[in-house]
Structure 1
Protein backbone atom coordinates (compact mmCIF):
# COMPACT_ATOMS: atom_id res chain seq x y z
CA UNK A 1 0.00 0.00 0.00
CA UNK A 2 1.40 3.42 -0.88
CA UNK A 3 0.60 7.06 -0.39
CA UNK A 4 2.55 10.02 -1.76
CA UNK A 5 5.52 7.82 -2.57
CA UNK A 6 5.57 6.23 0.90
CA UNK A 7 5.04 2.48 1.13
CA UNK A 8 3.60 0.64 4.13
CA UNK A 9 4.02 -3.06 4.70
CA UNK A 10 1.47 -5.50 6.10
CA UNK A 11 2.85 -4.89 9.60
CA UNK A 12 1.76 -1.25 9.53
CA UNK A 13 -1.68 -2.23 8.28
CA UNK A 14 -2.11 -4.74 11.11
CA UNK A 15 -0.92 -2.17 13.69
CA UNK A 16 -3.39 0.39 12.35
CA UNK A 17 -6.24 -2.13 12.60
CA UNK A 18 -5.27 -3.08 16.17
CA UNK A 19 -5.21 0.57 17.26
CA UNK A 20 -8.57 1.19 15.60
CA UNK A 21 -10.12 -1.80 17.36
CA UNK A 22 -8.69 -0.63 20.70
CA UNK A 23 -10.17 2.82 20.17
CA UNK A 24 -13.53 1.22 19.41
CA UNK A 25 -13.23 -0.92 22.54
CA UNK A 26 -12.55 2.16 24.67
CA UNK A 27 -15.61 3.86 23.23
CA UNK A 28 -17.79 0.83 23.99
CA UNK A 29 -16.35 0.60 27.51
CA UNK A 30 -17.19 4.25 28.13
CA UNK A 31 -20.83 3.40 27.45
CA UNK A 32 -21.42 5.79 24.54
CA UNK A 33 -24.12 4.62 22.16
CA UNK A 34 -24.51 5.60 18.56
CA UNK A 35 -26.62 8.69 18.05
CA UNK A 36 -30.33 8.30 18.72
CA UNK A 37 -33.32 10.51 18.00
CA UNK A 38 -34.72 12.70 20.76
CA UNK A 39 -38.14 11.16 20.11
CA UNK A 40 -36.72 7.89 21.51
CA UNK A 41 -35.66 9.40 24.85
CA UNK A 42 -37.22 7.70 27.87
CA UNK A 43 -37.08 8.43 31.63
CA UNK A 44 -34.04 6.83 33.26
CA UNK A 45 -31.86 7.12 30.16
CA UNK A 46 -28.60 9.05 30.30
CA UNK A 47 -27.31 11.51 27.72
CA UNK A 48 -24.16 13.47 27.02
CA UNK A 49 -25.24 17.10 26.54
CA UNK A 50 -22.66 19.89 26.17
CA UNK A 51 -19.98 17.55 27.49
CA UNK A 52 -21.90 16.77 30.70
CA UNK A 53 -23.57 13.54 31.81
CA UNK A 54 -27.32 13.89 32.43
CA UNK A 55 -30.10 11.48 33.38
CA UNK A 56 -33.62 11.96 32.05
CA UNK A 57 -36.05 12.40 34.95
CA UNK A 58 -39.22 13.31 33.07
CA UNK A 59 -40.30 13.77 29.46
CA UNK A 60 -43.29 15.22 27.66
CA UNK A 61 -43.94 14.83 23.95
CA UNK A 62 -45.46 18.12 22.80
CA UNK A 63 -47.27 18.75 19.52
CA UNK A 64 -48.07 22.47 19.40
CA UNK A 65 -50.78 23.85 17.16
CA UNK A 66 -48.12 25.71 15.21
CA UNK A 67 -44.53 24.73 14.69
CA UNK A 68 -42.75 21.37 14.86
CA UNK A 69 -43.24 18.79 17.62
CA UNK A 70 -40.65 18.65 20.38
CA UNK A 71 -39.64 16.70 23.48
CA UNK A 72 -39.62 18.63 26.76
CA UNK A 73 -37.31 17.02 29.32
CA UNK A 74 -36.32 17.44 32.93
CA UNK A 75 -32.73 16.26 33.43
CA UNK A 76 -30.42 15.73 36.39
CA UNK A 77 -26.69 16.33 36.08
CA UNK A 78 -25.05 13.17 37.44
CA UNK A 79 -21.83 15.04 38.17
CA UNK A 80 -23.22 18.07 40.04
CA UNK A 81 -26.77 17.08 41.03
CA UNK A 82 -28.33 20.15 39.40
CA UNK A 83 -31.62 19.89 37.50
CA UNK A 84 -32.56 21.65 34.29
CA UNK A 85 -35.38 21.56 31.77
CA UNK A 86 -34.35 21.24 28.15
CA UNK A 87 -36.26 21.04 24.89
CA UNK A 88 -35.21 18.82 21.98
CA UNK A 89 -36.64 18.67 18.47
CA UNK A 90 -38.15 15.21 17.95
CA UNK A 91 -35.83 14.46 15.02
CA UNK A 92 -32.76 15.89 16.76
CA UNK A 93 -29.77 13.58 17.27
CA UNK A 94 -28.76 12.99 20.90
CA UNK A 95 -25.92 10.92 22.35
CA UNK A 96 -27.10 8.19 24.71
CA UNK A 97 -24.96 6.66 27.44
CA UNK A 98 -25.24 3.18 28.90
CA UNK A 99 -25.34 3.39 32.70
CA UNK A 100 -24.88 0.20 34.68
CA UNK A 101 -27.20 -0.31 37.64
CA UNK A 102 -25.89 -1.92 40.80
CA UNK A 103 -27.84 -3.05 43.89
CA UNK A 104 -26.72 -1.03 46.90
CA UNK A 105 -27.81 -0.37 50.47
CA UNK A 106 -28.05 3.10 51.96
CA UNK A 107 -26.14 3.03 55.25
CA UNK A 108 -25.93 6.55 56.70
CA UNK A 109 -25.09 10.18 56.00
CA UNK A 110 -22.02 12.09 57.12
CA UNK A 111 -20.55 15.50 56.39
CA UNK A 112 -18.87 14.27 53.20
CA UNK A 113 -22.07 12.77 51.82
CA UNK A 114 -24.26 9.67 51.94
CA UNK A 115 -22.63 6.26 52.29
CA UNK A 116 -23.86 3.31 50.23
CA UNK A 117 -22.69 -0.31 50.24
CA UNK A 118 -22.46 -2.51 47.17
CA UNK A 119 -24.54 -5.59 48.02
CA UNK A 120 -22.30 -7.85 45.93
CA UNK A 121 -18.77 -6.66 46.72
CA UNK A 122 -19.59 -4.93 50.06
CA UNK A 123 -17.50 -1.95 48.94
CA UNK A 124 -18.69 1.35 50.36
CA UNK A 125 -19.11 4.51 48.30
CA UNK A 126 -19.74 8.05 49.49
CA UNK A 127 -21.85 10.20 47.17
CA UNK A 128 -21.82 13.97 47.86
CA UNK A 129 -25.15 15.34 49.09
CA UNK A 130 -25.05 18.04 46.43
CA UNK A 131 -25.08 15.34 43.77
CA UNK A 132 -27.93 13.42 45.41
CA UNK A 133 -30.05 16.54 45.89
CA UNK A 134 -33.56 15.69 47.09
CA UNK A 135 -33.03 11.96 46.55
CA UNK A 136 -32.15 11.50 50.23
CA UNK A 137 -35.64 12.69 51.17
CA UNK A 138 -36.91 9.45 49.62
CA UNK A 139 -34.23 7.16 51.03
CA UNK A 140 -34.11 5.49 54.46
CA UNK A 141 -31.13 3.80 56.16
CA UNK A 142 -30.91 0.07 55.30
CA UNK A 143 -33.03 0.64 52.20
CA UNK A 144 -31.94 -1.18 49.05
CA UNK A 145 -31.48 1.16 46.12
CA UNK A 146 -29.99 1.10 42.62
CA UNK A 147 -26.63 2.81 42.14
CA UNK A 148 -25.92 4.41 38.76
CA UNK A 149 -22.48 3.33 37.56
CA UNK A 150 -20.47 4.87 34.73
CA UNK A 151 -16.99 3.60 33.83
CA UNK A 152 -16.86 1.71 37.13
CA UNK A 153 -17.72 4.73 39.29
CA UNK A 154 -20.95 5.06 41.28
CA UNK A 155 -22.21 8.53 40.35
CA UNK A 156 -25.67 8.69 41.88
CA UNK A 157 -28.74 6.60 42.72
CA UNK A 158 -31.94 5.77 40.89
CA UNK A 159 -35.13 6.06 42.91
CA UNK A 160 -38.16 3.81 42.46
CA UNK A 161 -41.33 5.48 41.18
CA UNK A 162 -42.73 5.64 44.73
CA UNK A 163 -41.61 5.00 48.31
CA UNK A 164 -43.40 4.25 51.58
CA UNK A 165 -42.59 6.60 54.47
CA UNK A 166 -43.94 7.03 57.98
CA UNK A 167 -45.58 10.28 59.05
CA UNK A 168 -43.73 11.78 62.01
CA UNK A 169 -45.78 14.95 62.38
CA UNK A 170 -49.16 16.14 61.13
CA UNK A 171 -52.15 17.87 62.77
CA UNK A 172 -54.84 15.52 64.13
CA UNK A 173 -57.55 14.72 61.63
CA UNK A 174 -61.30 14.80 62.08
CA UNK A 175 -62.46 11.59 63.74
CA UNK A 176 -63.95 9.03 61.32
CA UNK A 177 -63.16 11.32 58.37
CA UNK A 178 -62.78 9.60 55.00
CA UNK A 179 -62.91 12.55 52.59
CA UNK A 180 -59.77 12.62 50.45
CA UNK A 181 -60.00 16.16 49.02
CA UNK A 182 -59.30 17.84 52.39
CA UNK A 183 -55.51 17.96 52.69
CA UNK A 184 -53.10 18.99 55.46
CA UNK A 185 -49.34 19.40 55.92
CA UNK A 186 -47.29 16.40 57.02
CA UNK A 187 -43.63 15.71 57.77
CA UNK A 188 -42.33 12.25 56.92
CA UNK A 189 -39.54 10.24 58.57
CA UNK A 190 -36.86 11.43 56.13
CA UNK A 191 -37.75 15.09 56.60
CA UNK A 192 -39.82 15.25 53.42
CA UNK A 193 -42.78 17.61 53.72
CA UNK A 194 -45.92 16.87 51.75
CA UNK A 195 -49.71 17.12 52.00
CA UNK A 196 -51.87 14.20 53.05
CA UNK A 197 -55.63 13.65 53.43
CA UNK A 198 -57.15 14.84 56.69
CA UNK A 199 -57.97 11.28 57.82
CA UNK A 200 -54.28 10.21 57.82
CA UNK A 201 -52.48 10.60 61.15
CA UNK A 202 -49.02 10.60 62.73
CA UNK A 203 -47.47 7.13 62.85
CA UNK A 204 -49.16 5.92 59.69
CA UNK A 205 -47.26 5.03 56.52
CA UNK A 206 -48.03 6.72 53.22
CA UNK A 207 -46.86 6.16 49.66
CA UNK A 208 -45.43 9.21 47.89
CA UNK A 209 -44.25 9.83 44.34
CA UNK A 210 -40.50 10.34 44.06
CA UNK A 211 -41.05 12.52 41.00
CA UNK A 212 -43.45 15.05 42.54
CA UNK A 213 -43.26 14.33 46.28
CA UNK A 214 -47.05 14.09 46.34
CA UNK A 215 -49.16 11.73 48.42
CA UNK A 216 -50.43 8.69 46.51
CA UNK A 217 -52.10 6.44 49.08
CA UNK A 218 -52.13 5.23 52.66
CA UNK A 219 -50.22 1.99 53.18
CA UNK A 220 -51.91 -0.76 55.17
CA UNK A 221 -49.44 -2.29 57.60
CA UNK A 222 -49.38 -6.10 57.79
Structure 2
Protein backbone atom coordinates (compact mmCIF):
# COMPACT_ATOMS: atom_id res chain seq x y z
CA UNK A 1 0.00 0.00 0.00
CA UNK A 2 1.13 3.53 -0.74
CA UNK A 3 -0.28 6.83 0.49
CA UNK A 4 -1.59 9.23 -2.15
CA UNK A 5 1.08 11.74 -1.11
CA UNK A 6 3.71 9.17 -2.18
CA UNK A 7 2.43 8.73 -5.75
CA UNK A 8 5.01 9.28 -8.49
CA UNK A 9 4.82 9.19 -12.28
CA UNK A 10 5.49 5.70 -13.61
CA UNK A 11 4.02 3.83 -10.63
CA UNK A 12 1.33 1.21 -11.25
CA UNK A 13 -1.65 1.09 -8.91
CA UNK A 14 -4.82 -0.99 -8.63
CA UNK A 15 -8.07 1.03 -8.91
CA UNK A 16 -11.50 -0.59 -9.04
CA UNK A 17 -9.89 -3.96 -9.76
CA UNK A 18 -7.94 -2.72 -12.80
CA UNK A 19 -4.32 -1.71 -13.26
CA UNK A 20 -3.58 1.98 -13.82
CA UNK A 21 -0.29 3.70 -14.61
CA UNK A 22 0.34 7.05 -12.88
CA UNK A 23 1.10 9.68 -15.54
CA UNK A 24 1.51 12.57 -13.08
CA UNK A 25 0.92 13.37 -9.42
CA UNK A 26 0.96 16.78 -7.75
CA UNK A 27 0.62 17.48 -4.04
CA UNK A 28 -1.12 20.74 -3.10
CA UNK A 29 -0.86 21.93 0.49
CA UNK A 30 -4.10 23.20 1.95
CA UNK A 31 -4.69 26.22 4.11
CA UNK A 32 -7.31 27.15 6.65
CA UNK A 33 -10.35 24.90 6.36
CA UNK A 34 -9.20 23.62 2.96
CA UNK A 35 -7.14 20.47 3.49
CA UNK A 36 -4.29 19.36 1.26
CA UNK A 37 -4.97 17.31 -1.85
CA UNK A 38 -3.15 15.13 -4.35
CA UNK A 39 -4.12 15.56 -8.00
CA UNK A 40 -3.14 12.54 -10.08
CA UNK A 41 -3.62 11.58 -13.72
CA UNK A 42 -3.80 7.85 -14.32
CA UNK A 43 -4.16 5.66 -17.41
CA UNK A 44 -5.98 2.33 -17.44
CA UNK A 45 -3.48 -0.22 -18.77
CA UNK A 46 -6.17 -2.39 -20.32
CA UNK A 47 -8.33 0.22 -22.07
CA UNK A 48 -5.78 3.08 -22.34
CA UNK A 49 -8.41 5.53 -20.96
CA UNK A 50 -7.03 8.37 -18.86
CA UNK A 51 -8.71 10.00 -15.89
CA UNK A 52 -7.92 12.59 -13.25
CA UNK A 53 -8.15 11.82 -9.54
CA UNK A 54 -8.40 14.12 -6.52
CA UNK A 55 -7.22 12.31 -3.41
CA UNK A 56 -6.64 13.12 0.24
CA UNK A 57 -2.87 12.89 0.97
CA UNK A 58 -3.39 10.06 3.48
CA UNK A 59 -5.62 7.93 1.17
CA UNK A 60 -4.20 4.42 0.79
CA UNK A 61 -3.77 2.93 -2.68
CA UNK A 62 -2.62 -0.53 -3.67
CA UNK A 63 0.66 -0.26 -5.56
CA UNK A 64 1.56 -3.09 -7.91
CA UNK A 65 5.03 -4.26 -8.95
CA UNK A 66 5.05 -5.53 -12.51
CA UNK A 67 7.46 -8.20 -13.69
CA UNK A 68 9.56 -7.26 -16.73
CA UNK A 69 10.39 -9.92 -19.32
CA UNK A 70 12.24 -9.14 -22.53
CA UNK A 71 10.38 -10.57 -25.49
CA UNK A 72 10.76 -10.52 -29.25
CA UNK A 73 8.14 -8.74 -31.36
CA UNK A 74 6.85 -11.05 -34.09
CA UNK A 75 3.91 -9.51 -35.99
CA UNK A 76 0.49 -7.88 -35.81
CA UNK A 77 -2.78 -9.02 -37.32
CA UNK A 78 -4.50 -5.63 -36.88
CA UNK A 79 -6.28 -6.75 -33.69
CA UNK A 80 -3.33 -7.73 -31.52
CA UNK A 81 0.47 -7.62 -31.40
CA UNK A 82 2.29 -10.91 -30.90
CA UNK A 83 5.48 -11.37 -28.88
CA UNK A 84 7.61 -14.44 -28.21
CA UNK A 85 9.57 -15.36 -25.09
CA UNK A 86 13.06 -16.12 -26.52
CA UNK A 87 13.78 -18.65 -23.74
CA UNK A 88 10.63 -20.78 -23.89
CA UNK A 89 9.31 -19.80 -27.36
CA UNK A 90 5.88 -19.19 -25.78
CA UNK A 91 3.85 -16.55 -27.61
CA UNK A 92 1.68 -13.86 -26.01
CA UNK A 93 -0.53 -11.19 -27.52
CA UNK A 94 -1.39 -7.64 -26.50
CA UNK A 95 -4.39 -5.76 -27.92
CA UNK A 96 -3.69 -2.94 -30.38
CA UNK A 97 -5.05 -0.31 -27.95
CA UNK A 98 -2.36 -1.29 -25.43
CA UNK A 99 0.49 -0.59 -27.86
CA UNK A 100 -0.97 2.76 -28.98
CA UNK A 101 1.38 5.24 -30.68
CA UNK A 102 4.40 2.95 -30.27
CA UNK A 103 3.04 0.77 -33.10
CA UNK A 104 4.93 2.79 -35.72
CA UNK A 105 8.27 1.99 -34.06
CA UNK A 106 7.85 -1.78 -33.68
CA UNK A 107 9.87 -3.83 -36.15
CA UNK A 108 9.94 -7.63 -36.50
CA UNK A 109 12.52 -9.34 -34.25
CA UNK A 110 12.86 -6.21 -32.09
CA UNK A 111 13.36 -7.03 -28.39
CA UNK A 112 11.01 -5.16 -26.07
CA UNK A 113 10.46 -5.49 -22.29
CA UNK A 114 6.89 -6.71 -21.73
CA UNK A 115 5.36 -5.97 -18.33
CA UNK A 116 3.52 -8.88 -16.69
CA UNK A 117 1.13 -8.98 -13.75
CA UNK A 118 0.65 -12.40 -12.20
CA UNK A 119 2.05 -13.98 -15.38
CA UNK A 120 -0.37 -12.15 -17.70
CA UNK A 121 0.95 -9.55 -20.17
CA UNK A 122 -0.22 -6.01 -19.38
CA UNK A 123 1.75 -3.57 -21.51
CA UNK A 124 5.15 -2.93 -23.04
CA UNK A 125 7.91 -0.82 -21.46
CA UNK A 126 8.89 1.00 -24.61
CA UNK A 127 12.19 2.93 -24.52
CA UNK A 128 11.84 6.73 -24.40
CA UNK A 129 13.76 7.17 -27.67
CA UNK A 130 14.32 5.09 -30.81
CA UNK A 131 17.24 5.23 -33.28
CA UNK A 132 16.19 5.05 -36.94
CA UNK A 133 18.02 5.48 -40.25
CA UNK A 134 17.10 8.24 -42.71
CA UNK A 135 16.25 6.66 -46.10
CA UNK A 136 15.24 9.81 -48.01
CA UNK A 137 15.68 13.56 -47.50
CA UNK A 138 16.41 16.49 -49.81
CA UNK A 139 19.87 18.08 -49.69
CA UNK A 140 20.33 20.80 -47.10
CA UNK A 141 20.07 24.48 -47.96
CA UNK A 142 23.35 26.15 -47.07
CA UNK A 143 21.90 29.55 -46.16
CA UNK A 144 19.37 27.95 -43.77
CA UNK A 145 21.70 25.35 -42.31
CA UNK A 146 20.97 25.92 -38.63
CA UNK A 147 17.59 27.56 -38.26
CA UNK A 148 15.16 25.67 -40.50
CA UNK A 149 14.02 22.10 -40.74
CA UNK A 150 13.35 19.78 -43.67
CA UNK A 151 11.33 16.57 -44.03
CA UNK A 152 13.08 13.22 -43.81
CA UNK A 153 11.64 9.75 -44.40
CA UNK A 154 12.82 7.12 -41.91
CA UNK A 155 13.31 3.38 -42.36
CA UNK A 156 9.89 2.67 -40.79
CA UNK A 157 8.16 4.93 -43.36
CA UNK A 158 7.57 7.73 -40.87
CA UNK A 159 8.23 11.33 -41.91
CA UNK A 160 9.84 13.69 -39.41
CA UNK A 161 11.27 17.21 -39.44
CA UNK A 162 15.06 17.25 -39.11
CA UNK A 163 17.79 19.95 -39.24
CA UNK A 164 19.35 20.84 -42.62
CA UNK A 165 22.63 18.96 -41.91
CA UNK A 166 20.93 15.52 -41.77
CA UNK A 167 21.59 13.40 -44.89
CA UNK A 168 20.44 10.04 -46.23
CA UNK A 169 22.03 7.19 -44.30
CA UNK A 170 22.33 9.17 -41.04
CA UNK A 171 20.88 7.64 -37.90
CA UNK A 172 18.62 9.93 -35.89
CA UNK A 173 17.14 9.59 -32.41
CA UNK A 174 13.35 10.05 -32.27
CA UNK A 175 11.26 10.68 -29.13
CA UNK A 176 8.94 7.66 -29.00
CA UNK A 177 6.05 9.48 -27.31
CA UNK A 178 5.88 12.54 -29.59
CA UNK A 179 7.56 11.23 -32.75
CA UNK A 180 9.86 14.29 -32.89
CA UNK A 181 13.54 14.48 -33.82
CA UNK A 182 15.90 14.67 -30.83
CA UNK A 183 19.43 14.38 -32.20
CA UNK A 184 21.74 12.78 -34.76
CA UNK A 185 23.37 9.58 -33.50
CA UNK A 186 27.07 9.55 -34.19
CA UNK A 187 28.59 6.17 -34.90
CA UNK A 188 31.96 5.58 -33.29
CA UNK A 189 34.73 4.94 -35.82
CA UNK A 190 36.29 1.53 -35.41
CA UNK A 191 39.90 1.55 -34.35
CA UNK A 192 42.22 -0.78 -36.31
Aligned with residue 91 of structure 2, among 111, 116, 124: 124
For 1:37 and 1:95, the matched residues in 2 are separated by: 9
- C-alpha contact 1:112 1:126 (8 A) present in aligned 2: no
Displacement of 1:123 = 0.9
1:177–1:219 distance in 2 versus 1, CA, 3 Å: farther
- Indicate yes or no: 2:188 matched with 1:188: no
Partner residue of 1:59? 24
- C-alpha contact 2:84 2:92 (8 A) present in aligned 1: yes
Spell out, residue by residue over 1:9-58, the C-alpha distance to the aligned partner (whole angstroms, 9 max, x if none).
xxxxxxxxxxxxxxxxxxxxxxxxx2x123322333211223322223x3
Aligned with residue 218 of structure 1, among 177, 184, 187: 184
Higher relative helix content: 1
1:42–1:144 distance in 2 versus 1, CA, 3 Å: farther
| Counterpart secondary structure, 2:161 | strand
Partner residue of 1:203? 169
1:65–1:94 distance in 2 versus 1, CA, 3 Å: closer
For 2:170 and 2:49, the matched residues in 1 are separated by: 32
TM-score normalised by length of structure 2: 0.77
| Counterpart secondary structure, 1:147 | strand
Q: How many residues align?
A: 184
Spell out, residue by residue over 1:196-218, the C-alpha distance to the aligned partner (whole angstroms, 9 max, x if none).
22322343221122233322111
Partner residue of 1:173? 140
Partner residue of 2:11? 45
Displacement of 1:88 = 3.9
| Counterpart secondary structure, 1:200 | coil
Cα RMSD (Å): 2.9
Partner residue of 1:16? none
- C-alpha contact 2:114 2:123 (8 A) present in aligned 1: yes
| Counterpart secondary structure, 1:156 | strand
Displacement of 1:64 = 8.6
Larger Rg: 1
- Indicate yes or no: 2:46 matched with 1:101: no
For 1:151 and 1:190, the matched residues in 2 are separated by: 34
For 1:72 and 1:90, the matched residues in 2 are separated by: 11
Partner residue of 1:28? none
Spell out, residue by residue over 1:121-159, the C-alpha distance to the aligned partner (whole angstroms, 9 max, x if none).
221112221221112223222221110111211122111
Displacement of 1:61 = 3.2
